[in-house]
Structure 1
Amino acid sequence: MTRTLSRRRGAALSAALLSATLVLSACGGGSTSDDTGTTAAATRTVTAGNGTIEVPADPQRIVTIGNTTLPLIDMGGKPVGVTEVGASELGLIPQEQKATFEAATPLGSSGDQVDMEKLAGLKPDLILAQLPDSEFEQISRQLESIAPTVFWGLDVEWKALADGLSQAGNVTTGLSAQKAQFQEKVATIQKTYAALIADTRFVNVDRWESSDPGTFSIADFGCVEIAQGDLGMDFPRAAEGADPLGWTSLPFEQIAKLSEYDVITYPVDAAGRPKEPFAPVVATNTWKALPAVTSGRALGVFCPGNNSYGPVLQYLDSLGAALATLPAKG
């Protein structure tokens, strides 16, 4: 499943903090006039990681930097400038969203590589950014001199980021529809599989392109956080304040220990095939001999991402379909 290490760490704490700071309020109640008699567009204020920022009520030329790009597009936003998104991520989003991304002006490979002259030339009325604090500190003054800039750090929980982006970017309609779908899908899975969720020990395993040969991980970040936190499924997770379990690489020799769990989930692509980095795990004889595997209780689940509602909705669909294949307990 998608490996999102630093952005997921401390998510629960960040969600609590951000829910208290994401504030949207009317500023002036409408249009205002300056000394020349020119009518200025209405503004609002939003509060995020870099304080309280006055932004256009209906921004028309938004630039997205770092991790804000795909979530904003997912909610229906159309940025005029963007930083780079990896080909693997672009390959997982709908074609119309990919077209929106490709229509925007590329501004650099990452937040600390933004072409400021090109950015200024776009004449943005709002800049949205999520990147490491250290990178934002290097460019914050330049960004703020170009347009109102709203910033979130990487430890912000994905739902809070979606709320903040929708408020600042005025794409609340798209978010409201996605939230309704999310709540409906969660409620359906909880109702349909209430007994299974209550009585089953799950484990989520993963492996990434960067993993050392012959290793895998018990992953507790990524889409499995939705299963844990929103659905209430019993997956292993790190103790409060400890590093995520998924940061620890385990040798293939420890695959046999997965036999203590009732159901195993593992990453597959949109076609249901084990994701390429994980394929060496399912090829081992130890994996093939696991009770969960031999009894049809090893479930491949598709996770296109877990940083906005659109990909999470796809994950819930895949998880629900996978749970439906489980044989009845003997």
Structure 2
Amino acid sequence: MKKLLIPFTLLLLLVISACGNNDSTSENEGNGSTPPENKQPETITYESENGPVEVPADPQRVVLLSGFAGNVLDLGVNVVGAESWAINSPILADELKDAVEVTDESLEEIIELEPDLIIGLSTIKNVDKLSEIAPTVTYTWGKVDYLTQHLEIGKLLNKEEEAKAWVEDFKSRVEETGKEIKAKIGEDATVSVIESYGKDLYVYGDNWARGTEILYQGMGLKMPEKVKEVALESGYYTLSAEVLPEYAGDYVILSKYSDADTSFQETETYKNIPAVKNNQVYEMEGNGASFSDPITLEHQLAFFKESFLGEK
């Protein structure tokens, strides 16, 4: 009997153990207590202007070749390379301090940066070669409004919800500020956006950065009729100092580059402009004003609130 007892006991233990393992496995499979890993996709398909492009779902090293640096930075995505206008923008300088200055022709430098995504305007060169380095997406300037553009960047970076939240909040704040400004300066008061760059003067329409989108589209402030005629459709118009009074509104936003020729401000023609006489010319730093990204737009909104309303 003793000889049979040990094998029988062992056999019984083995049967119980096997049943327990089978039950456990069956139970786990049934209730999902040990599910397979829920991995996020490594890529997404973005519907670009030129068709679908497979891009990283979580880009880590982005190169910007013309604009949009502030859009990408605002969404918390790392920028490793950018064009000179962005690099030299005092508004974006801190966040781009580690980025390398590149162009659409500096292919070797871009390769060394090992980007996983490249973004630029539709006018950049070497798109085919750039696409061999990393997925490359381009946008046509002005094809969509400035807020929709940020939403598109959000879709591209797989951060559409974050982009949407900023757009809704910013739009609301701009509209409210616009109401306050119109209540102070009058519904019919006109505003011109003029820039001094190099030896030239420009006046801008409603979609050419320098705060034009905020003032005209977002706040609904009025543009002088003369400006509408020459700049609304084209975006900008080159002026001479002699005709500047014809395009100056009741209020003037004067975008000035530090190295611009500002001798026109010393002429009697300029000094006799009503906006100048009434201290209703607000000078804005030109460097960095040529973008319409969230970081730049927030900076410009604060400038307009301080200029028109005295709020800081």
TM-score if structure 1 supplies the norm length?
0.67
**CA shift at 1:87, angstroms?**
7.7
Runs of 4+ in 1 over 6 A off after TM superposition: none
Q: RMSD of the alignment, in Å?
A: 3.2
2:268 equivalent among 267, 280, 285: 285
Aligned length: 263
User: 2:47 aligns to what SS in structure 1?
Assistant: strand
The one-letter amino acid paired with 2:134 is A
2:282 counterpart of 1:294: no
- Residue 317 of structure 1 corresponds to 302
2:49 counterpart of 1:49: yes
Residue 45 to residue 239, structure 1, CA distance change in 2 (3 Å)? farther
1:263 equivalent among 251, 276, 294: 251
- Residue 292 of structure 2 corresponds to 307
TM-score if structure 2 supplies the norm length?
0.70
Distance, in Å, in 1 between the alignment partners of 2:195 and 2:266 is 14
Summarize the alignment of residues 70-219 of structure 1 with structure 2, pairs less than 5 Å apart.
70-80=70-80, 82-86=81-85, 89-95=88-94, 97-99=95-97, 102=98, 104-106=99-101, 108=102, 110-111=103-104, 113-115=105-107, 117-132=108-123, 135=125, 139-157=126-144, 158-172=146-160, 175-176=163-164, 178-195=166-183, 196=185, 198-211=187-200, 216-219=201-204
User: 1:314 aligns to what SS in structure 2?
Assistant: helix
Residue 302 to residue 320, structure 1, CA distance change in 2 (3 Å)? farther
**CA shift at 1:309, angstroms?**
1.3
Distance, in Å, in 2 between the alignment partners of 1:240 and 1:131 is 25
User: 1:198 aligns to what SS in structure 2?
Assistant: coil
User: 2:53 aligns to what SS in structure 1?
Assistant: strand
Distance, in Å, in 2 between the alignment partners of 1:256 and 1:65 is 37
Deviation by residue 1:268-307 (Cα, 9 ceiling, x = unmatched): 57xxxxx552632322222222332222223334564332
User: 1:67 aligns to what SS in structure 2?
Assistant: coil
Ranges in structure 2 where 5+ consecutive residues have no aligned partner: 1-38
**CA shift at 1:65, angstroms?**
2.7
Residue 68 to residue 245, structure 1, CA distance change in 2 (3 Å)? closer
**CA shift at 1:150, angstroms?**
1.9
Deviation by residue 1:244-267 (Cα, 9 ceiling, x = unmatched): 3733322x22244357x4222222
**CA shift at 1:193, angstroms?**
2.5
Comparing both chains, which one has the higher relative contact order based on Cα–Cα distances under 8 Å and sequence gaps of 6 or more?
1
Residue 245 to residue 286, structure 1, CA distance change in 2 (3 Å)? farther
Summarize the alignment of residues 204-283 of structure 1 with structure 2, pairs less than 5 Å apart.
204-211=193-200, 216-220=201-205, 221-222=208-209, 223-236=211-224, 237-239=227-229, 244=234, 246-250=236-240, 252-257=241-246, 261-267=249-255, 276-277=259-260, 279-283=262-266
Distance, in Å, in 1 between the alignment partners of 2:237 and 2:230 is 15
User: 1:316 aligns to what SS in structure 2?
Assistant: helix
CA contact (8 A) 1:58 1:169 kept: yes
The one-letter amino acid paired with 1:317 is A
User: 2:197 aligns to what SS in structure 1?
Assistant: coil
CA contact (8 A) 2:119 2:137 kept: yes
Distance, in Å, in 2 between the alignment partners of 1:293 and 1:240 is 22
Residue 145 to residue 240, structure 1, CA distance change in 2 (3 Å)? same
**CA shift at 1:123, angstroms?**
4.2
Distance, in Å, in 2 between the alignment partners of 1:41 and 1:301 is 44
44-53 vs 120-129, which deviates more?
Answer: 120-129
CA contact (8 A) 1:302 1:319 kept: no
Distance, in Å, in 2 between the alignment partners of 1:245 and 1:59 is 33
Residue 170 to residue 278, structure 1, CA distance change in 2 (3 Å)? farther
Residue 141 to residue 317, structure 1, CA distance change in 2 (3 Å)? same
Distance, in Å, in 1 between the alignment partners of 2:59 and 2:87 is 30
**CA shift at 1:240, angstroms?**
9.4
Residue 254 to residue 52, structure 1, CA distance change in 2 (3 Å)? same
